[in-house]
Amino acid sequence: MRERRDIRNGFRPDPIPHEVLLRVLEAAHTAPSVGHSQPWDFVVIRSEETRRAMHELAMRQRDAYAKSLPKGRAKQFKELKIEAILETPVNIVVTADPTRGGRHTLGRHTQPQMAPYSSALAVENLWLAARAEGLGVGWVSFFDEREMVRELGLPEHLEVVAYLCVGYVDEFPEEPELMKAGWSKRRPLSWVVHEEAYGRRTLPGGDPHNLLQETLRGIRPLDAKALGEAWERQKRMTKPSGALGMLEIISAQLSGLSRQCPPPIPEPASVAIFAGDHGVHAQGVTAWPQEVTAQMVANFLGGGAVCNAFAGQVGAEVCVVDVGVASDLPSTPGLLPRKVRAGTGDFTVGPALTREEVLRAIEVGIETARDLVAAGNKALLTGEMGIANTTVSAALVSIYTGADPAEVTGRGTGINDEMHARKIDVVRRGLELHQPDAADPIGVLSAFGGLEHAAIAGLLLGGASLRTPVILDGVSAGAAALVARAIAPEVLAACIAGHRSAEPGHVAALNKLGLRPLVDLDLRLGEGTGALLALPVVQSAARAMHEVATFDSAGVTEKN
């Protein structure tokens, strides 16, 4: 099973003897199936004409998919081979007949999808048997299924489960081709095994651990050896020493974080926008109605917000996570539904969240980091949307910097003097009510929220544990980073301050964190916009380490 591979390269044109193909098809036909309905058929295609027609269909879908990708991904995708329709002597279409077995197929009563699942099991059998025969198999799913049914002249009631390219190969790579190309990473088994209940992750024989504890164990300081190599390389690069200023610090940080010099170029990248609502909105701390949170989420998903424009410009993916929007959001491509609760409680009258809810929101952030990194992202960016969330950020910054609420409470989306005074008073009342203990970061988040702050803290911790850089956006990210640092000080190894926002609390947070922002343009929007603008700067820092010649290699004389 470990040696089975999806193969797209290196096929030989040799024909497949009938007895070999028969053994492979027999293996497929012994697969388990719902109600023993055996819903599969196998259409063996050898004709070059048919394969050409299928190849054309697949190429059209490939182009459509490429156009749908963010630039950072599209560059990678261009290098990938996704089919071997014309290079293989045999293509096999595996179908599922949802009507086979009659109306009362045992086990398909409530789950009609069991028919195609059964055919997929036949594919796996076929794949393993082919491997044993030295045959490579490549599964192609770049088809519009109905278009395919028509082109192949299949009966209309059939579903196409798989289109397989089969032929002899000389070798089976040890790792999936997508992994070798840096497109994806293998998820560890420990991420996906739960004992008794979802979330109690453990491998058989181990103790169930919570996700936060496991994540904290993976967070390490910057690697001294790689850091040293980076500083050394900076000195040897064909430029005056220190001439790249802050970029030299960033590239050294990236080296220490990844334990590699030069460090991986942080591309592709994804901005994770966590959305949540706030009970403190009821105190009149913003001019915007609460429903704008959900409306802006719809705008992000529709591609019409500033973050979409900036992400398009810098080639990043936009990933929107509902961690606590007050209203129900319709299921939409690009939206991760991870609602912990529908908005926080008003922190001026009681705790915003329970400790349990805080931990769940942190886990949402950790899992988002895991998913994005396993999907091949090499940089994460923070983003957030939550009407009234600068009030929460101000409280968190005040707690962790010791600054008076009046110094760190800004005007957010733009409020008048009267509302600003009320906002400061609201923060002050919250601090008096909860008497927060900065040494208890979960307690602090429980008192004030917000769900998106907790999730961003989780994203930072998750990114750090996966040795992946996280570019911070504005004041909410700064506030969340202060909380994350209180949970695990070494989290800062992964953090890069993308920009400095116009919110006064952000400056206080960055000073406390000891982070220098890369972009300073009076932005105060959120949504990850400042982090997105900083992404090319971070990428340039890493690229310089890869591409700039050294004095010795370029034959350039050094300064006396």
Ligand X SMILES: Cc1cc2nc3c(=O)[nH]c(=O)nc-3n(C[C@H](O)[C@H](O)[C@H](O)COP(=O)(O)O)c2cc1C
Site for ligand X, rule CB under 6 A: 5-6, 8, 82-83, 139-142, 176, 178
Q: Are 489 and 345 in contact (CB under 8 A)?
A: no
Dihedral angle of Cα 111, 117, 121, 123, to the nearest 10 degrees: 160
Please state the closest distance from residue 234 (CB atom) to ligand X, in A: 37
Toward ligand X, which CB reaches closer, 24 or 244? 24
313-335 b/e (C-beta count within 10 Å ≥ 16 → b): ebbbbbbbbbbbbbeebeeeeeb
Please state the closest distance from residue 292 (CB atom) to ligand X, in A: 40
Please state the closest distance from residue 400 (CB atom) to ligand X, in A: 43
Element (H, E) at 308: helix 306-314
Q: For residues 227 and 298, what is the distance between their CA atoms, to the nearest angstrom?
A: 42
Cβ contacts of residue 268 below 8 Å, gap of 6+? 70, 72, 73, 76, 315, 316, 317, 376, 377, 378
Toward ligand X, which CB reaches closer, 96 or 471? 96
Toward ligand X, which CB reaches closer, 114 or 361? 114
Please state the closest distance from residue 478 (CB atom) to ligand X, in A: 38
What secondary structure does DSSP assign to 96-131, as a single string?
E-TTTT-TT-TT-SS-TTHHHHHHHHHHHHHHHHHH
Toward ligand X, which CB reaches closer, 122 or 486? 122
Toward ligand X, which CB reaches closer, 117 or 551? 117
Nearest one of 527, 500, 492 to 516, comparing CA atoms: 500
Please state the closest distance from residue 525 (CB atom) to ligand X, in A: 38
Q: For residues 298 and 473, what is the distance between their CA atoms, to the nearest angstrom?
A: 21
Residue type, 387: I
Toward ligand X, which CB reaches closer, 63 or 552? 63
Nearest one of 531, 529, 280, 308 to 393, comparing CA atoms: 280
Please state the closest distance from residue 144 (CB atom) to ligand X, in A: 13
Please state the closest distance from residue 138 (CB atom) to ligand X, in A: 6
Residue by residue, what is the 3-state secondary structure of 188-250?
CHHHCCECCCCCCECCCCCCCECHHHHHHHCCCCCCHHHHHHHHHHHHHECCCCCCCCHHHHH
Cβ contacts of residue 351 below 8 Å, gap of 6+? 345, 434, 446, 447
134-146 b/e (C-beta count within 10 Å ≥ 16 → b): ebbbbbbebbeee
Of the residues 367, 527, 547, 558, which is catalytic? Answer: 527
Residue type, 257: L
Please state the closest distance from residue 444 (CB atom) to ligand X, in A: 42
Element (H, E) at 384: strand 379-385
What secondary structure does DSSP assign to 437-502, as a single string?
-TT-HHHHHHHH--HHHHHHHHHHHHHHHTT--EEE-SHHHHHHHHHHHHH-GGGGGGEEE-B--S
Dihedral angle of Cα 456, 459, 461, 463, to the nearest 10 degrees: -140
User: Among all residues, whose Cβ is closest to ligand X?
Assistant: 176
DSSP state of 516: -
Toward ligand X, which CB reaches closer, 79 or 522? 79
Q: Are 384 and 477 in contact (CB under 8 A)?
A: yes
Toward ligand X, which CB reaches closer, 172 or 231? 172
Please state the closest distance from residue 208 (CB atom) to ligand X, in A: 29
How far is the first Cα of the chain from the last one, in angstroms, to the nearest whole number? 61
Please state the closest distance from residue 129 (CB atom) to ligand X, in A: 15
Burial (CB count <10 Å: 0-12, 13-18, 19+), residue 258: buried
DSSP state of 11: B
Query: Partners of 337 in the beta sheet?
Result: 322
Please state the closest distance from residue 319 (CB atom) to ligand X, in A: 21
Q: For residues 32 and 122, what is the distance between their CA atoms, to the nearest angstrom?
A: 8
Toward ligand X, which CB reaches closer, 140 or 321? 140
Nearest one of 531, 520, 473, 507 to 401, comparing CA atoms: 507
Toward ligand X, which CB reaches closer, 121 or 178? 178
Is 367 considered catalytic here? Answer: no
Q: What are phi and psi of 97, to 5 degrees?
A: -105, 105
Residues serving a catalytic function are: 527
